[in-house]
Amino acid sequence: MTPEFHYSVGWRASGAHPGTHRSGHLGSGHEFAGQVPFIANPDPRHLDLRASLHDPYGQLMVRSFRQRSAIPVFVVADLSASMGFRGMADKLENLARFTASAAYSAYRTGDPFGFVGCDEGIRSDLLLPLRLHKSAAPDLYERLRGLSPAGRSAEALCQAAPHLGRQRALVFLVSDFHFPLDRLDTLLSSLTRHDVVPVVLWDSAEYERLPPRGLTCVEDPETGERRRLFMRPSLREKFRTAFEQRRTALIHLCIQRGREPFFVIDRFDAEALTRYFYQT
């Protein structure tokens, strides 16, 4: 069963399509927006006699309300080789589960959903145009978990913005973020039009569950470079410290650019993501 999470945004939707989010459009909602002349909104059900009697021009006045509107929801995903890492879990499996959950949650909320996958280029074979998808969740799950990522970088993430449209959207930016912070800063700058939630996929085997002692081989999946290390307690501690420093730097940069990142370590938890939205 595809897990569902609930999300909210702090801005008003600009789309005219009815939905569940606060909007700047006047319509048949419940949020009072003020009084307007009857000629501007000829709906006798909302006639305001008190305001009409006090109008200096003697106009009939009616109460106006803001409607609730839908917002676009996108997942922009890093599909480079590093996302194929398997340790305590499978990063691609977690990406597939998260994407399916986002697609299903958007459908249940009444919001259109789209998907953009990136490695060295935009993956046109996985591009999902924005629309209200009923069957996107299981389809995306099967397609993503069956991938064999081989891209040497995630450079195309910076090319995703044109695929997101002009209307402000909720964008889940999913990656392990194993690339320089200045590149992340450039990426977030390219998405400033949108409300970006960075979703960090890490595996505890990358830094926490390392062998205590002995020779071990590490490999950069994107360059293919291999290196032998003699693992010892001091080196294990260096790995842990480096990841903790990286986590702190990611949080600091993402907050500067809008939102704190959401970390998925080993397993995606939909309830934790719901708490993320309603506690921040």
175-231 pLDDT tens trace: 999 999 999 999 999 999 999 999 999 998 877 766 666 666 665 555 556 666 666
Task: Determine the residue type at 174.
Answer: V
Q: In this structure, how many other beta carbons lie within 10 angstroms of the beta carbon of residue 178? A: 19
Of 127, 13, 35, 29, which Cα lies nearest the Cα of 77?
A: 127
- Max alpha carbon distance in the chain (Å)? 89
DSSP 149-193: --BS--GGGGG-GGGG-SS--EEEEEE---S-HHHHHHHHHHTTT
How far CA 163 is from CA of 32, 117, 134, 199, 239, in Å, comes to 35, 11, 21, 19, 37
Task: Determine the residue type at 113.
Answer: F
C-alpha 83/C-alpha 93 separation (Å) is 10
pLDDT at 56: 87
pLDDT at 209: 65
Per the CB < 8 A criterion, the answer to whether 81 and 222 are in contact is yes
pLDDT at 111: 96
274 vs 206, which has greater pLDDT?
274
Residues 6+ apart with CB under 8 A from 97: 3, 141, 268
Per the CB < 8 A criterion, the answer to whether 42 and 51 are in contact is no
User: The tokens 């695929």 sit on which residue?
Assistant: 163
Taken in order 120, 124, 134, 132, the sign of the CA dihedral is: positive
The residues that bridge with 32 in the sheet, in sequence order, are: 65
Task: Determine the residue type at 64.
Answer: S
For 86-101, what is the mean pLDDT? 92
Of 128, 180, 126, 115, which Cα lies nearest the Cα of 154?
A: 180
| Segment 134-178, tens digit of pLDDT | 888 888 999 998 888 888 889 999 999 999 999 999 999 999 999
pLDDT at 15: 76
Q: What is the mean pLDDT of the chain?
A: 87
pLDDT-derived band at 37, boundaries 50, 70, 90: confident
pLDDT at 170: 98
pLDDT-derived band at 128, boundaries 50, 70, 90: very high
CATH 3.30.70.260: does it fit domain 73-204+259-279? no
pLDDT at 220: 57
**Percent of the chain residues topping a pLDDT of 70:** 88
263 vs 214, which has greater pLDDT?
263
User: The tokens 């194929």 sit on which residue?
Assistant: 84
C-alpha 164/C-alpha 122 separation (Å) is 13
According to DSSP, residue 49 is labeled H
For 75-96, what is the mean pLDDT? 92
C-alpha 111/C-alpha 107 separation (Å) is 6
pLDDT-derived band at 274, boundaries 50, 70, 90: very high
Residue 67 has pLDDT above 70, yes or no: yes
Beta strand pairing status for 226-231 and 214-219? antiparallel
For 34-57, what is the mean pLDDT? 80
Domain ranges of the chain: 18-69, 73-204+259-279
User: The tokens 């021009």 sit on which residue?
Assistant: 57
pLDDT at 225: 63
Cα 63 off chain centre by: 37
For 26-50, what is the mean pLDDT? 76
pLDDT at 29: 62
pLDDT at 237: 80
